[in-house]
Structure 1
């Protein structure tokens, strides 16, 4: 499912206009982007937790040519599903 399909599904489920659902979803994603930092996480009861994990700079050897490559430090966004979401997904399997 892509973003457009998600918006249509939510619109059909709630009866709200597609444009309203799109605005709300865009606001949600924008808020996540603005709030998440290595010091801050966002937890939604029954859904899950978004948090930032810092990956330090590292070096690694390229297996093809044997050269040592440097990889810069970066931050990754991690999502841990909540129990209610895990249970719902496992129930459908």
Structure 2
């Protein structure tokens, strides 16, 4: 499912227009991204949680030349699925 298909599904389930559904989806995504970028965790009970996680510096290898390179420490987004989401995907709900 891509974004436009998601917007169509939201519009159908909520009786909102496609334009309103697109605005709502964009607002949800922006809010989650902004909160995680500021270091906050976002938890949607039953769906999952989003958070920022530090990835330690490490040594890597340039696949083209085989030379060793240093990969700096960075912060990456992480998502952990909630119990209801996991159960639905596993066919248990």
After TM superposition, the score normalised by the length of structure 2 is 0.85
Change (3 A) 1:66 1:85: same
Q: Does 1:27 align with 2:27?
A: yes
TM-score by length of 1: 0.85
Over 3 Å counting, the alpha-carbon distance change for 1:40 and 1:70 in structure 2 is: same
| Shift, 1:89, TM fit | 1.2
Report the RMSD for the aligned CA atoms in angstroms.
1.9
SS of equivalent residue, structure 1 residue 36: helix
Q: Say how many residue pairs are matched.
A: 92
Query: Whole-Å Cα distance in 2 between the matches of residues 37 and 30 of structure 1?
Result: 10
Give the Cα–Cα distance (whole angstroms) in 1 for the partners of residues 16 and 32 of structure 2: 23
Partners of 1:48 and 1:22 in 2: how far apart? 22
Matches within 5 A, 1:1-93: 1-37=1-37, 39-62=39-62, 65-91=65-91
In structure 2, runs of 5+ residues without a counterpart are none
Unaligned runs of 5+ in 1: none
